[in-house]
Structure 1
């Protein structure tokens, strides 16, 4: 079967990449005063300016032709229709059903899943209202003030980062804490600040057996009992998001406070399910519903907007352009908004776990690059560290800059300074500064000619570094939902073009299996070691240190 890099469309793009070698975006802007307007589009409260990219009309058309050749629209429609597109696990991929407000059914194996989805949303709404109203109390009669969310991976990152991003919408009187790392230092630090009588634990694990999550939950349970609670009191202080109702009930949880999960929702897409319960507890159900509605709006946009106006499609095509035709190995996300500082880590899991694959859907080995390394940090901090590499380094690093135009209760000068840095950085990356300009700037410096030329060369910025700018009126729950869904669909577009299954994660699973095998040897210190020499040596050193 023909792989994507053997197609005529791929070959055309390779030639187009070569054709622009030596050209500079600075000249493109000078030649076309309408360039910014031509390459700007908006949807769902998000404006994307992608004019500072190494593209022209021929390149954009070439990328669209590649997407058409790879049947991206057909694959998109198959996902929304509930077809089994996660073929290695024989599952549908329907995180979109969790935010479906169309009133239309979503079928999986001939069954409409929407009644169960809507019932779970109602259950979340009722439980959140019970907590916020004080109706649900701890065993001593105190209202719940603290929520401890225990999960790992998507069950941790999604709720934590979305809650952080929505800090201006937090409910008064409720504090939410997140625990993921099995390192005991993490949960001990959290528990040390709490009173067990007004604390609720939300344990999120589909199987109720995830190693890190189960151990942290058992530690929390023992802490609760040691503080004076009893086994009978567990039901008022522990709830679960899990498909293993039996295990949760045996733990001591009230069956009415166990929220369901489904196989057709991957962990990194699960914040839209009951995994998002901590978000709802943090900001209130109405704001949580607005988050879902924003994602639904982006789903509708992705399904219906023309490709040239389609935000996820455009971002996905640009990602392929730089990864496969310009040798970019990473992509940086730069939110210029403090509360969105965790977003790069969220997209990091979403993108790298989805498309970090070396085998195509037909089980053929891949000989072209797929998912890039995703990284980033909040602006303006990065400008004083790693932006140096982006500006003058020899590796190409495409960047996404993000900025809300309005921030509630923000000091005007602070926000203006933030915006000026955001816009100035994208301008500098595109425009750069020539040797001649740097040499002229040093005319009044007390330097001899040789030193002046040398310093001018050090100060030269090549520019021509690509970036997208994403603006929001403000980062409210609806816009945040749209933003997350936009990146989900961007990842889908890239995976569809590369021909990989974006919805399994066998690389993650292998580490879990081997970790459990090693754990057995660490706990059972007399067990024979039968691993490789390095692993055996490391285990033995650990045993000796803990005797």
Structure 2
């Protein structure tokens, strides 16, 4: 594995010099000086998604130098290594093959000399058969009633991805009700148990390791409540299913073997919606639509793997993100979908990016001296206009934005979609150009002194960058392509930044400490000894519980 320190490359040094020349140039001037700027920096993917990168603070030299950086960091070979099953997750000695899950049998892919595609096909067919039984009412609960409710019990990648997709593809949903239970906060579980009908509900216990405390705790409570209702362990096989790589633990929990949908260690949790972890998606939108989701992702995979870097959409987006994060030191990145169905999309990408690239150790084991993942955040666009857009337009932070919208609404009512899209177009324009295009910019010269003073507060300097993603329609194919685009953007950034994007050791420490503290809270011991603040908080808890 070629581990190059990015800041020591010739291209990084050139970019540093280039940044000093370009940092104060306004987007107004970029557009004035290049009447084909939009054509140079926009791409149409499969006649389905338009990606406009022209409102970024870049020029042709910026892109050229960023592509030179990609070459120096060996990006093309690293892309090939991922797709061919090499163990690029080197800290866990694993392949990274979520792309194989949407390969749909197009080619063989080998891990340790074994073709994984037959296993993937087997699980896909199992998902199809089972989902059709549930959807068509052929699978009955223990009392003979048809299944109406699906409950996915999981957290992190076992929750965010499936939940985001089922919400995004709500117009394609069938008659089944799909719920997601993730939080260990008993309030969520209490509200769920209060209304749940066990006779018509199946439970998908979604955990790659089948040891995740939040998931197994919630699943055990539900299992106990279920057995209290019918007092028959055998009836569990009609209602409880596991999605996991830990078959033994699922069997020990009481899941019958045929109700276990397998995962593999080369499927990362935050990339698992394409696998059996997407069973809740299949049950929600049907198997055919799930295949369309996979097909959209597969086509983006092929683009990422084979398109030259200068026209490679995820690569260019990833490089531009590094440009802002490491040279402008922008620190955060905003995702604003102008589509209510995509309201969970920012949270999903937040996990994908920050868990993948939120690292401070490079592949050589050294502390990094450059910025890795930005802070990803976001909300539905129209709502955001009435909350945080003030900061975007006139705040002191540079915040690159991704705007996402669809031309066609699933529910056209009067001119609502035109109002929505007019805001989408207006905001990217206003962020880029500020007040520049307003015809009355010069009228203030004739104003009285107080009016001139007030006008200062109404000034928008612009020069705030954004990307625009315009979908023809939010359908399974386009959503699959969009998700995969962001996955590959994140991969690109991990390679350029010389970090391992596929482990998540930072998640583990807090879990380990919480296990120790949990025993102290449960058994009222004070054997744990941390800092004075943590010790005092635990003591306050104990004292309050005793006096109460």
Answer yes or no: is the 8 Å Cα contact 1:438–1:456 preserved in 2.
no
**Counterpart-to-counterpart distance in 2, 1:328 and 1:438:** 32
1:279 alignment partner, one of 278, 281, 290: 281
> Which one is further off, 474-483 or 535-544?
535-544
Alpha-carbon displacement from aligned partner over 1:396-417 (angstroms, at most 9, x marks no partner): 1000000111122322411000
Answer yes or no: is the 8 Å Cα contact 1:316–1:491 preserved in 2.
yes
Answer yes or no: is the 8 Å Cα contact 2:127–2:279 preserved in 1.
yes
**Counterpart-to-counterpart distance in 2, 1:26 and 1:53:** 11
Report how many aligned residue pairs link the two structures. 543
User: How is 1:103-118 mapped onto 2 (pairs within 5 angstroms)?
Assistant: 103-118=106-121
**Counterpart-to-counterpart distance in 2, 1:113 and 1:66:** 33
TM-score normalized by the length of structure 1:
0.96
Equivalent residue number for residue 119 of structure 1: 122
Q: Compared with structure 1, are the counterparts of its residues 264 and 2 closer, same or farther at alpha carbon in structure 2 (3 Å cutoff)? A: closer
User: What is the CA distance between 1:356 and its match in structure 2?
Assistant: 0.6
> Which one is further off, 52-61 or 36-45?
36-45
**Counterpart-to-counterpart distance in 2, 1:430 and 1:81:** 41
User: What is the CA distance between 1:365 and its match in structure 2?
Assistant: 1.4
**Counterpart-to-counterpart distance in 2, 1:289 and 1:337:** 23
5+ residue gaps in structure 2?
Answer: none
Equivalent residue number for residue 140 of structure 2: 137
Alpha-carbon displacement from aligned partner over 1:70-100 (angstroms, at most 9, x marks no partner): 0111101001110011111111111111111
Answer yes or no: is the 8 Å Cα contact 1:438–1:460 preserved in 2.
no
Answer yes or no: is the 8 Å Cα contact 1:360–1:366 preserved in 2.
yes
Confirm or deny that 1:77 pairs with 2:76. no
Q: Compared with structure 1, are the counterparts of its residues 332 and 229 closer, same or farther at alpha carbon in structure 2 (3 Å cutoff)? A: farther
Equivalent residue number for residue 356 of structure 2: 354
Equivalent residue number for residue 533 of structure 2: 534
User: How is 1:297-376 mapped onto 2 (pairs within 5 angstroms)?
Assistant: 297-376=299-378
Equivalent residue number for residue 456 of structure 2: 457
> Which one is further off, 182-191 or 135-144?
182-191
> Which one is further off, 227-236 or 213-222?
227-236
User: What is the CA distance between 1:329 and its match in structure 2?
Assistant: 0.1
User: Any idea what SS the aligned residue of 2:381 has?
Assistant: coil
Q: Compared with structure 1, are the counterparts of its residues 412 and 473 closer, same or farther at alpha carbon in structure 2 (3 Å cutoff)? A: farther
Confirm or deny that 1:393 pairs with 2:417. no
2:34 alignment partner, one of 29, 32, 50: 32
User: How is 1:99-248 mapped onto 2 (pairs within 5 angstroms)?
Assistant: 99-172=102-175, 174-248=176-250
**Counterpart-to-counterpart distance in 1, 2:13 and 2:300:** 32
**Counterpart-to-counterpart distance in 2, 1:272 and 1:304:** 21
Answer yes or no: is the 8 Å Cα contact 1:166–1:477 preserved in 2.
yes
Alpha-carbon displacement from aligned partner over 1:190-232 (angstroms, at most 9, x marks no partner): 2222211101110011222110000000111122123335322
User: What is the CA distance between 1:176 and its match in structure 2?
Assistant: 0.5
**Counterpart-to-counterpart distance in 2, 1:21 and 1:208:** 49
Equivalent residue number for residue 294 of structure 1: 296
Q: Root-mean-square deviation (CA), in Å?
A: 1.7
**Counterpart-to-counterpart distance in 1, 2:472 and 2:232:** 49
5+ residue gaps in structure 1?
Answer: none
Equivalent residue number for residue 6 of structure 2: 4
Alpha-carbon displacement from aligned partner over 1:429-478 (angstroms, at most 9, x marks no partner): 1111159977645578xx731x1221111111110110000011101001
Confirm or deny that 1:67 pairs with 2:70. yes
User: What is the CA distance between 1:21 and its match in structure 2?
Assistant: 3.1
Equivalent residue number for residue 409 of structure 2: 407
**Counterpart-to-counterpart distance in 2, 1:132 and 1:443:** 69
Confirm or deny that 1:58 pairs with 2:61. yes
Equivalent residue number for residue 418 of structure 1: 420
Answer yes or no: is the 8 Å Cα contact 2:4–2:498 preserved in 1.
no
Equivalent residue number for residue 448 of structure 2: 448
Alpha-carbon displacement from aligned partner over 1:138-192 (angstroms, at most 9, x marks no partner): 00000000011000100000000110000100012x0001011100111221222
Answer yes or no: is the 8 Å Cα contact 1:439–1:452 preserved in 2.
no
**Counterpart-to-counterpart distance in 2, 1:538 and 1:368:** 36
User: What is the CA distance between 1:306 and its match in structure 2?
Assistant: 2.0
